[in-house]
A and B are shown apart, each in its own frame.
Chain A
Amino acid sequence: MIQGAPLALAGLLVAGAAQPRIANADTAPGKTTSPPDARWGSVSVELPASGTLFPAGDGAVIANSQCLICHSAGMVLTQPARTQEQWKETINKMRSAYGAPLPAEQVDPLATYLSRLSSGKAGSDIAQSNLAMAAQANSETAQGAVAADGAAIFAVRCAACHQPGGTGLPGVFPPLAGSNWVNGPDAAAVQILLHGVQGALTVNGIGYNGAMPTFGDQLSDAEIAKVLTYIRGQWGNKAGPVGAELVSAQRAASAAHAGPWNGDADLTKIK
């Protein structure tokens, strides 16, 4: 009853006829320095940020300040109903397998919050959040923009928490626009990027208690200089540019320091 003769048609990998198949001597693997073919030239895009917050409720601040570091809220808000125990399992997996900086004492309250969210009570909130997400997404045009280096790094590394306009999220992620830290000593700004921050941090008189990831091992000195120069000149900020030499010097000077800076306690000492 089997139709056709599929087994006779198994030759699925076909040699390309349109392109030269055999390299000549000076294009042998590993030897060429010629530029790549034009169609595979540089590509630069911008990815949209999400402005969606977790709906209000006990634990929302934890969700907003912790979960959104690594991922936007959309997939969390569309999970099926789950118990507090099930959410605890997920949150602990985020901590142990993925290294989420969420403190142990926040696991229970966050699990309780998420289980209430997903149990259906918050159905309309979630629907609204999803629509907000779509509206937000549609409002951001990302097609094919070629951004300057600092802006591109900002978009990938910073905008998810600090928001595309540098406004931060009230009570959750501090603003960069008008921030006393951004516009303060350049060495402190460099140290914040190099090592990250944990613990109480006051920004423009308002207290925050979240976690800023460390970027010292993810960004080069030149990249840190570019993104800081960008941030210090955007949204009304008028602080001067930061050079890669300063970042190198700061990196060397703090090489012995392990872990994030302890908020105000550490950072106010840096002049």
Chain B
Amino acid sequence: MRRSSNSPVLTRRSFLAGAGAVGVAGALGSFSWPARAAEFIELPFANGRRGLVRNFPQKSSMILQRTRPPLLETPFEVFDRGVFTPNDRFYVRWHLASIPTTIDTANFRLSVRGQVRQPMSLTMHDLLHGFEAVEVAAVNQCSGNSRGLFNPRVTGGQWDNGAMGNALWRGVRLKDVLDSAGVAAGAVQVRFKGLDTGVVPQTPNFMKSLTVDHARDGEVMIAYEMNGEPLPLLNGFPLRLVVPGWYATYWVKMLQDIEVLDEPDDNYWTSKAYLIPDTPGADITPEQKNVKMVPINRMVPRSFFTSLTEGAAIRHGHTLNVRGIAFGGDSGVVRVLVSVDEGRRWQDARLGTYHGKYSFRQWEIPLRFATAGPQRLMVKAVNAAGAGQPDRPNWNVGGFMRNVIESISVQVV
């Protein structure tokens, strides 16, 4: 249904029966916007008030960062409910505002062209039946997830920690598709483009590239299914590139064009956007100048508390199972460690079901505090390559790759 006019929409107010940071505004109808209750949430940084909205297609309650093109964040409590993020709560991030809202898959074609022996134009039927179907559980995380927590603050989408999600992706290997077209000798990169375009024709199309070797590693996937369903349109229906272990900027949505290049891609989005300092942890000081910049790439380990929120009250003398999620970035998470003494000693948490090295993994640890008072809890993950999380936050001007050890303060009562 479309909104029929710009006159105030007079409907029954929908109050949210939630508690905590969620409130209700506009109760007196004294504002100029439609007389309708707004649900909102306070993210933990200055100017952090955001609407909670339910009016995006195939999505339920999401944190509104921007309406057009949509930036929708997953409310963090969703991550406590399991390691797979439901499609209707999965975060959304688009760069360009002309997004097709009608996709007729009967006429949809994925083109494979450029430095290939046999250019192809693949139908959905070809992809569903012409190649071996494969699955991978993998975390999709925005390069700028948690940007709002940077200090000093940096510009960009002011996300809290919810610009990430984990799904079971099903589709075909990019390698199989490329091999079917036959990558020509001398090819160096493979470039991916979706159906979205800018509003003005001068805006560069959103395209990202991977090296031929990466594209043919057998893990990169053209996904047509997410958690057992076709992808929601806002997550890239009908096809999305899945690049396990790499930041989501490479996971091109509404994938419609694959171009094999014989020279490095110099398009804006690959060569000038999404650059990080070429330093450990993409970490520099705000004063540091003339730093060598490289395209963002592999993800780093992260871990979060999900069963407790900042300021929660817990009872002394009782054992409480505290749980959360972790992921290893570009390799599996092998340990999750929790500290209750400011990081002096760390205890191993018990890890939940293993869904593959690129997936979220749940962790749990029983904690018991003998006496009442404020208490800080910390958590960190270690991946199979031995990489951990830093005890000091990284900083860069793009607000990328935050993975500091997480901590929350609780009140033992």
Name A residues whose Cβ lies closer than 8 Å to a Cβ of B: 1-4, 6-7, 9-10, 12-16, 19-23, 27-37, 39-52, 69-72, 74-75, 78-82, 86, 90, 97-101, 123, 126-128, 130-145, 147, 149, 151-152, 155-157, 160, 163-165, 167, 213-214, 217-218, 235
In the assembled complex, B129 has its CB within 8 A of some CB on chain A: yes
Chain B: number of interface residues, binned into ranges: 35 or more
| Complex CA–CA separation, A132 to B46 (angstroms) | 19
**Contact yes or no, A51 B122, CB < 8 A:** no
B154 to chain A: which residues have CB within 8 Å?
Answer: 80
Cα–Cα, bound, A41→B233 (Å): 12
A33: chain B residues within 8 A (beta carbon): 123
Q: Residues of A contacting B204 with CB < 8 Å? A: 97-99
- Inter-chain CA distance A28–B177, complex, in Å, is 12
- B-side interface mostly: loop
Closest to B45 in A: A80
A30 to B54, CA, bound (A): 39
Assuming the contacts A78-B158, A97-B204, A164-B3, asked whether A134 and B101 have C-beta atoms less than 8 A apart, the reply is no
Q: Is B4 positioned at the interface, with any CB of A under 8 Å from its CB?
A: yes
Stretch binding the partner chain, chosen from B132-140, B281-289, B364-372, B405-413: B132-140
**Top 5 closest pairs, chain A to chain B, by CB:** A134-B51, A99-B202, A16-B133, A45-B57, A80-B153
Please measure, in the bound complex, the distance between the C-alpha atom of A45 and the C-alpha atom of B70, giving whole angstroms. 14
A19 to B358 CA separation, bound complex (whole angstroms): 24
Does B128 reach chain A (CB closer than 8 Å)?
yes
A70-B198, A156-B101 known; A79 and B40 CB under 8 Å? no
Instruction: Please list the residues of chain B having a beta carbon within 8 angstroms of any beta carbon in chain A.
Output: 1-6, 9, 11, 14, 25-26, 31-34, 36-40, 46-58, 64-71, 97-106, 108, 120-126, 128-137, 153-155, 157-158, 170, 173, 177, 180, 197-204, 218-219, 221, 224, 229-230, 233, 237-238, 244, 268, 272-273, 331-332, 334-335, 348, 351, 354, 356-358, 382, 384
Determine whether the beta carbon of A4 is less than 8 Å from that of B334.
Answer: yes
Residues of B within 8 A of A151 (CB): 2
A80 & B155 in contact (Cβ 8 Å cutoff): yes
28 A-B residue pairs with CB within 8 Å:
A13-B134, A21-B132, A27-B125, A29-B177, A32-B126, A36-B123, A70-B198, A71-B69, A75-B157, A98-B200, A98-B204, A99-B204, A130-B49, A134-B25, A134-B64, A135-B25, A138-B38, A139-B3, A139-B11, A139-B55, A142-B1, A142-B56, A143-B1, A156-B98, A156-B101, A213-B201, A218-B98, A218-B197
Contact present for B130 and A28 (CB under 8 Å): yes
Bound form: Cα–Cα A3–B357 in Å = 14
Question: Which residue of B6, B31, B105, B153 is within 8 Å of A41 (Cβ)?
Answer: B105
Which residue of chain A has its CB nearest to the CB of B239?
A40
CB-based nearest A residue for B58:
A45
Chain B residues with CB below 8 A from A45, complex form: 57-58, 101-102, 233
Q: Tell whether, in the assembled complex, residue B126 and residue A75 are in contact, meaning their CB atoms are under 8 Å apart.
A: no
Other-chain contact of A30, B50, B58, B122, B197 (Cβ < 8 Å): B122
B125 engages A12 (CB within 8 Å): no
Q: Are B57 and A46 in contact (CB under 8 A)?
A: yes
Minimum distance in angstroms from B216 CB to a CB of chain A: 13
Inter-chain contacts of B153 with A (CB < 8 A): 80-81
Assuming the A-B contacts A48-B55, A134-B39, A134-B64, are A97 and B268 also in contact, with contact meaning beta carbons closer than 8 angstroms in the complex?
Answer: yes
Which residue from chain A places its CB closest to the CB of B8 in the assembled complex? A139
Least CB distance, B178 to chain A, in whole angstroms = 12
Q: A32: which B residues are within 8 A, CB to CB?
A: 123, 125-126, 129-130
Do A138 and B53 touch (CB < 8 A)? yes
Question: Contacts of A70 on B, CB cut-off 8 Å?
Answer: 97, 198-200, 203
Across the two chains, which residue of chain A brings its CB closest to B269? A97
- B105 touching A36, Cβ below 8 Å: yes
Query: B121 — which chain A residues lie within 8 A by C-beta?
Result: 30
When distances are taken between beta carbons in the complex, the residues of chain B under 8 Å from A136 are 33-34
Cβ contact within 8 Å between A126 and B47: yes
Q: Which residue of A lies closest to B43 (CB)?
A: A78
Partner pick for A13 among B48, B54, B104, B135, CB 8 A cutoff: B135
Complexed CA–CA distance, A86 and B36 (Å)? 36
Apart from A13-B219, A143-B55: 16 A-B pairs, beta carbons within 8 A: A4-B351, A7-B384, A36-B105, A39-B230, A40-B105, A44-B103, A45-B102, A45-B233, A47-B99, A50-B67, A51-B33, A97-B273, A98-B203, A135-B36, A138-B14, A149-B102
In the complex, are the beta carbons of A139 and B36 less than 8 A apart? Answer: yes
User: In the complex, are the beta carbons of A27 and B65 less than 8 A apart?
Assistant: no
Whether B67 lies near A137 (C-beta < 8 A) is yes
Q: Do A3 and B351 touch across chains, with their CB atoms under 8 A apart? A: yes
| Interchain CB contact under 8 A, B200 and A69 | yes
Contacts of B219 in A (CB 8 A): 12-13
Q: Per a CB cutoff under 8 Å, which of B1, B126, B133, B357 touches A21?
A: B133
The reply to whether A79 and B155 contact each other, CB–CB distance below 8 Å, is: yes
A9 x B133 contact (CB < 8 A): no
Whether A165 pairs with B5 at a CB distance below 8 angstroms is: yes
CB distance from B33 to the nearest CB of A (A): 4
B57 x A142 contact (CB < 8 A): yes
Complex Cα gap A14–B64 (Å): 36
Distance between Cα atoms of A12 and B5 in the complex (Å): 51
Flag if B34 contacts A29 (CB, 8 Å).
no
Most B CB atoms within 10 A — which of A51, A52, A69, A143?
A143
Contacts of B137 in A (CB 8 A): 12
Flag if A29 contacts B120 (CB, 8 Å): yes
Question: Do B173 and A13 touch across chains, with their CB atoms under 8 A apart?
Answer: yes
> With A29-B130, A71-B97, A164-B2 in contact, is A132–B33 under 8 Å at CB?
yes
Q: Decide: B106 and A35 in contact? CB cutoff 8 A.
A: yes
Chain A contacts for B14, CB-based, 8 A: 138
Complex CA gap A5/B233 in Å reads 38
Bound state CA distance, A246 and B219, in angstroms? 50
Q: Which residue of B lies closest to A44 (CB)?
A: B102
Whole-angstrom distance between the Cβ of A1 and the nearest chain B Cβ: 8
Find out whether the CB atom of A15 lies under 8 angstroms from the CB atom of B132. yes
B233 proximity list for chain A (CB < 8 A) = 43, 45
Chain A min CB distance to B1 (Å)? 5
Complex: chain B residue closest to A77, CB-CB: B47
Q: Which residues of B contact A3 (CB under 8 A)?
A: 334-335, 348, 351
CB of B370, distance to nearest CB on chain A (Å): 27
